[in-house]
Chain A
Amino acid sequence: MRKLLRSPKIVIGLCLSGAFVVLAIVGPLVAPYSPNASSSTTSGTPMPPSAAHWLGTTQVQQDVLSQLLAGGRSTILVSLVAGAVATVLAVLFGVSAGYLGGYGDDLLSMVANVFLVLPALPLLIVIFGFIGRGANPNDVLIGAIIAITGWAFGARQLRAQTLSMRARDFVDSARIIGERKWRIMAFEILPNLVPVVATSFLFTVIYGVGTYTALSFLGVISLSHWSWGTMLYWAQNAQAAQQVRLEWWWFVPPGLAVGLFGTGLALLNFGIDEYVNPRLRAAGLTGRRARRAGLPRRPRLGLTAVLPAGVTAAAAAAAAGRPAAAMDGGAVSAVSATAGGVIPGSAVAGPPVTDPVLPDEVQQ
């Protein structure tokens, strides 16, 4: 755990995403105004930042900061719920498909593949169309629905990792002493997949932010329900970016918030990936530091080390929708494969990684 905190990526990622979560919790309480309150009903021109309105106002003189804080709670809650639900689904499908094998695997994999190829945004638009847009939709429900389209990728990854775990001797040993199947999956295999599960969770949270923002921006979700997406919708509606006087205070804050939150999560993700696969870390170190850390020297091949993490994250967040998340996931597993020269299976905490092999002591 302490080793984890030594990685700058993890520290920055944790601070960034942590700050957003704190804001989501306390934000609406400290917000100076109600997000719907108009401070003036006469002026139709957005006001730039001022002492009364730190982030200025919208066209109808609503406080942008208050909207940002209120919208942040909804956006972050939806994305965390989406991440959690999708991760639970991914674990259930992925681990049992990988461990059970045979027809069970075929069936579960087929379900996952169907969900993987379903076009996410159109499907969600249809679903939300059915549900109807109540004036005040439930964030938890929105998150759960988004999760339906976001779990399949994680399930496939977990299935692959479970397949490689299943061949490990400690799984056989557990079978030899008579452990039940569900116990082997839950207590022998799953604890070793924690980094993969964490990665899968972070990806789906990023996916959730992007998807929810996109859905609100498109007006699929009630426009009176404040989120960063609806803020962008109203700004776009008022053509804030096309005015002679660029009304940046209106659309930059929500956009930046989406980008920064995504960046924080992505940094965390990369940090975990490096922790799990030390060869990735070695790719980013100078030779001297790598030697000092006792790592083999490797040429710089890793995308992680070369690409500024923010770029990828912003791309993922901006290009809302699953394709982005899926592409990101692909990139990371490609990193594991190229930088380490190893199969993606090695992205799992295993003896070569977490427990350095001790020299054999002579036994008495």
Chain B
Amino acid sequence: MTTTAVARTGEAGTGAPILEARGLTKHFPVHKARLGATRSVVHAVEDVTLALPASAITAVVGESGSGKSTLARLFAQLITPTSGTVLLDGKAVTGRERRRYARQVQLVLQDPFSSLNPVHSVRYHLARPLQVHGLASDLDDDILALLERVSLTPADQFAVKFPHELSGGQRQRVAIARALAVRPRVLLADEPVSMLDVSIRLGILNLLAGLREQEGLTILYVTHDIASARYLADVIAVMYAGQIIESGPATRVTDSPSHPYTQLLLSAAPDPDRAEPPSLLGRGAPPNLIRPPSGCRFHPRCPHAMAVCTDGTPPAFDLGTGHFSSCWLHAQGLTSAQSRPLAGAGRGTGAAPGGAAGGADSAAGGGIRGAGGKHRAAGGAADGGKPITDGRTAPPPRPGPAGPGEEKR
């Protein structure tokens, strides 16, 4: 029933996850409910389960409005979830231990032009976390060391500056230094480069990669740009309409995307330097999150939508090696009534509905393979002749015993 996907460490990262979301849900009230009226809510994040493997970079990719920033803020305990829990080292986090939690988990916000207080100097921004947590042995030395860590040199000159005297990239480095000041184990970065000039994005991304490499920091990298996620991350989780719809090792997800939405995202974002979030409007708008579509939330836009997609939320199917996909195409043993293509589905792709029917009609054993093959074909067709997956990629291995495809909680 749930659309959960567990990012398991594939190639990188080992051991138990440090930080974990279990069934996290966040609904925002649209406006204050009048007496007696039912409250309408925005389903910003719906039942997300995601584990951040230690010392690895996990990327959460999605369009704007997919709930990825809300997820980052839920992880940072900035907002309280409607339901579900955040686990730190396997223990549920309560709102009461704010400070202790802040020692472990830090969040860098998207916009460095508003995340630094204009009335305070760089020194103040870096001194506060040290003072709050009683970490400074020698305040000035520690501040200079922090600035050097994020390559803001000469550090003593940067320390006395005010935010308005810094460029966007420099501000973002200060924001990262502030987060690093408490020596956290987990760094959450909410679109850390989207507000920055293209020319300085790489510097920030490399800074994050270096922190993972040298200090074993566990990083959550939230982005709309799947290309940068591939560049940086070990694990990618793709979000759509508040749910994680595909997750797995970064190379697997980007080389052989198994969810139609991921394929769409890849076809729409071939350019890592793209400044704007990819516009997918040509293929239908992101759904209304006040009344999200039934079943698979992607079905109104999905070229492969089947009858089953409208009434059941697809669970996370295990495709092996830590690759999960919440799409009914990976289900085995769908009846032909369930796999009947939806009227209007596959607009523009022509061949896809037939493929869908064919794939699903085949016996239960062939279901996955058929579905996988269809993904590829459809992916090629959907992006207008620009193949996103090359022939080299092997179809995803079959899951082990039938049944364990369901979510891992």
Contact = CB atoms under 8 A, between A and B. Distances in A.
Contact of A173 (B133, B170, B175): B175
A354 B163 CA distance: 11
A173 B109 contact: yes
Given A176-B78, A179-B132, A360 B197 contact: yes
A350 B111 contact: no
B99 interface: yes
A153 to B, nearest CB: 25
Interface string B148-190: 0001000000000011111111100001001101100000000
Contacts of A362: 197, 199-200
A350 B196 CA distance: 19
A41 interface: no
Contacts of B179: 176-177
B167 A177 contact: no
A191 B181 CA distance: 24
A356 B164 CA distance: 7
19 contacts: A169-B109, A169-B115, A170-B115, A173-B115, A173-B178, A175-B98, A176-B106, A178-B98, A178-B133, A179-B128, A351-B113, A354-B164, A355-B162, A358-B167, A360-B168, A360-B196, A363-B169, A363-B170, A363-B199
Interface in A320-364: 349-351, 354-363
A25 to B, nearest CB: 32
B152 to A, nearest CB: 10
B203 A192 contact: no
Interface in B184-242: 196-197, 199-200, 203
A361 B203 CA distance: 12
Interface residues of A, number: 27
A191 B164 CA distance: 16
Nearest to A354: B118
B359 interface: no
B129 A357 contact: no
Contacts of B169: 360-361, 363
Contacts of B167: 358-361, 363
Contacts of A358: 164-167
Interface string B295-311: 00000000000000000
Interface string B102-115: 11001101110111
A341 to B, nearest CB: 21
B14 interface: no
Given A358-B165, A360-B169, A362-B200, A176 B107 contact: yes
B37 interface: no
A291 interface: no
B116 interface: yes
A220 to B, nearest CB: 43
B119 interface: yes
Interface centre among B73, B78, B118, B203 (most CB of A within 10 A): B118
A176 B113 contact: no
A192 to B, nearest CB: 6
Contacts of B279: none
A350 B115 CA distance: 12
Nearest to B76: A176
B111 to A, nearest CB: 6
B99 A178 contact: yes
Nearest to A167: B114
Given A170-B116, A177-B129, A358-B167, A363 B200 contact: yes
A305 to B, nearest CB: 27
Interface in A11-27: none
A355 to B, nearest CB: 2
Q: Which 5 A-B pairs have the closest CB atoms?
A: A355-B164, A178-B102, A169-B115, A360-B197, A177-B129
Interface centre among A191, A350, A357, A360 (most CB of B within 10 A): A360
B114 A170 contact: yes
Given A168-B114, A176-B76, A191-B120, 5 more contacts: A170-B114, A177-B128, A178-B102, A178-B182, A360-B167
B82 interface: no
A168 B113 CA distance: 10
B100 to A, nearest CB: 9
A177 B102 contact: yes
A172 B129 contact: no
B200 A360 contact: yes
